[in-house]
Structure 1
Amino acid sequence: MGANELTLVLGGTGKTGRRVVRLLTGRDLPVRIGSRSGGVPFAWEDPATWEPALEGVRAVYVSYYPDVAAPGAPEAIGAFAELAVRSGARRLVLLSGRGEEEAVASEKALAASGADWTVLRAAWFAQNFSEGYLLDPVLGGQVTLPAGNVGEPFVDIDDIAEVAAAVLTQDGHTGRVYEMTGPRLLTFTEAVAAIGAAAGRDLSFVRIPADDFAAALSAEGVPDDVTGLLTYLFTTILDGRNSSVGDGVRQVLGRPARDFSDYARDTAATGVWNRKDAR
């Protein structure tokens, strides 16, 4: 890509998207944020917002909300990809989910568009413990989830963003699927213990039945579709299918993926796990 070619970052105010934006703008590359909360208005459920966001764009970071495994995601991603190609945005980089059969349908829809596509198939985000739905439980001292004693290669989303920025701006990645994971497996018990050690706090992990997890989310006012999706993800893809380490970070960046202990140390240093106002 040329230095003046515009990149659209969907979900550009979200966890991965804002990091991609920061990396690209740090290289003085032109970026457009597509989001419901900032930049150019973009909403997956409103196709009328797609074409204006794509005007003059040559590459797109495609992050689907709430998840590529959600109902309707393949159809929306396929339609958007076809429009992007017609609009001249041929390079499409999709953030996908590891071990999600439904996500594969979204990947296939992307490829069927005729785009120069790349897929970043990610494990569980380490930052879910500090920037997502697991922050409140960490602050409360106990993380309660329907996750068993299964190893997960938690990925640092700084690595995802760095890989995405490289793939968006460099040639040689068309038609590739990169497995985005950390360098080792940890159970949720081990991950929570690592956070507790880094933050100097007494944290515990408790496994609960899926029905109790769903009921607790509903009681907190979480929408039914999000509750259903989270319950599905915890009970389905944490069955051992993802208990292996991928090499996508090294393939693209030529270095090892960041370890969970590095994430825990650096995040603890910010104080986010020790501040009551972080809730």
Structure 2
Amino acid sequence: MITVFGATGTTGAPLVDTLLEKGADVRAVTSDPSKLQKLRDKGCEAVTADFTDPATLQSACAGAESIYLVTPAHRDMRAWKSNAIKAAQTTGVRHVVMGTGLGASPEARLTLGQWHSENQEELKQTGMDWTFVQPTYFMQNLLWQAETIAKDGVYHDELGGPAAWVDARDIADVAAAALTGSGYEGKALGLTGPEALAGEDIAAVLSEATGRSVTCAPVLADDSKATMIASGMHEEIAAAMVELASIAPRGYLAGIETTVSDVLGRPARRLADFIAENRDAFVA
């Protein structure tokens, strides 16, 4: 049995699908009871759990040999992951594949890298096998701007520098390989796409895919932070996200990892392909 936390999330949803295609027994975990039937319709077990409730976490982990652990970006995410790690250890889980972030380590200088590192180090001390899945920016995040791009023909660039965007489906496929295969224990898997693109590059790809002119508009850090807070994000997380974006102009998000192709034996998905698949979302 493989337990997947965040089973309706950006990486969890495709991971459930991939694991089921591989013939794995899957227990999908969500915090929203209204999503249980849709998960069950896929052919897996589905349960609810709350990251603040140890009893529900233990129930979700019970009988599982492996778990996939990921949480939303939230000021309490360290405590949430810690609670799930403890539940996994208590119930005899052997292997935890945990989603963190590219560059997370005890030497990380960024807030999010430090937070992820705390849970990574905690997991290492449990005696369970571990694999860290460490992605960069998700291509799926572009869909947050789809309506604006379709309406105004403007891509709002919050990074100000190149980033090697990765498709969440590639993250899920790598996580599935780690959960169902061997040789990934004790490894940190950095995940990026195959190319680093700046805002102007993304606008050009959007223009080509949609057949209309899409321009790139830089976004000031203060404006970006204010927008995230207005959307409901806690100020502490918004500040950490802005801090992460601030290293893009210096090229620190432009590094290319070959992990996707190394693990899966195929190229990582390109942003142009992702945008082409989702073209209708970017067209008014």
TM range (shorter): 0.7 to 0.9
Corresponding position of 1:86 = 90
Q: TM-score, normalised by structure 2?
A: 0.83
CA distance in 1, matches of 2:248, 2:77: 18
Question: After superposition, what is the alpha-carbon deviation per residue over 1:196-248, rounded to whole angstroms, capped at 9, x for unaligned?
Answer: 31122322221122112222344455554553343333235664322210111
Q: Is 1:151–1:185's contact at 8 Å kept on the other side of the alignment?
A: yes
Q: Which runs of 5+ in 1 are unaligned?
A: 1-5
Corresponding position of 1:189 = 200
CA distance in 2, matches of 1:136, 1:235: 25
Q: Which of the numbers 53, 57, 62 marks the counterpart of 1:55?
A: 62
The aligned length equals 262
Corresponding position of 2:38 = none
Q: Which of the numbers 125, 135, 156 marks the counterpart of 2:146?
A: 135
Describe the shift of the 1:43–1:240 C-alpha distance in structure 2 as closer, same or farther (beyond 3 A): farther
1:11-90 aligned at under 5 Å gives the runs 11-37=6-32, 38=35, 39-66=46-73, 70-90=74-94
CA distance in 2, matches of 1:105, 1:238: 27
Compute the displacement of 1:22 (Å).
0.7
Corresponding position of 1:3 = none
Alignment partner of 1:123 is 2:132: no
Q: Which of the numbers 146, 162, 176 marks the counterpart of 1:165?
A: 176
- Equivalent AA in structure 1 for residue 124 of structure 2: A
Q: Is 1:78–1:112's contact at 8 Å kept on the other side of the alignment?
A: no
Q: Is 1:192–1:204's contact at 8 Å kept on the other side of the alignment?
A: yes
CA distance in 2, matches of 1:239, 1:77: 31
Question: After superposition, what is the alpha-carbon deviation per residue over 1:168-199, rounded to whole angstroms, capped at 9, x for unaligned?
Answer: 00111100111111111111221232123112
Corresponding position of 1:104 = 117
CA distance in 1, matches of 2:117, 2:199: 25
Q: Is 1:81–1:115's contact at 8 Å kept on the other side of the alignment?
A: no
Describe the SS at the equivalent of 2:202: helix
Higher mean alpha-carbon deviation, 100-109 vs 12-21, is at: 100-109
- Equivalent AA in structure 2 for residue 109 of structure 1: E
Corresponding position of 2:107 = none
Corresponding position of 2:263 = 252
Q: Which runs of 5+ in 2 are unaligned?
A: 36-45, 104-111
Runs of 4+ in 1 over 6 A off after TM superposition: none
Q: Which of the numbers 271, 278, 281 marks the counterpart of 1:272?
A: 281
Corresponding position of 1:9 = 4
Q: Which of the numbers 158, 166, 184 marks the counterpart of 1:146?
A: 158
Q: TM-score, normalised by structure 1?
A: 0.85
Q: Is 1:178–1:247's contact at 8 Å kept on the other side of the alignment?
A: no
Percentage of pairs with the same residue: 27
Q: Is 1:61–1:94's contact at 8 Å kept on the other side of the alignment?
A: yes
Q: Is 1:198–1:264's contact at 8 Å kept on the other side of the alignment?
A: yes
Describe the SS at the equivalent of 1:120: strand
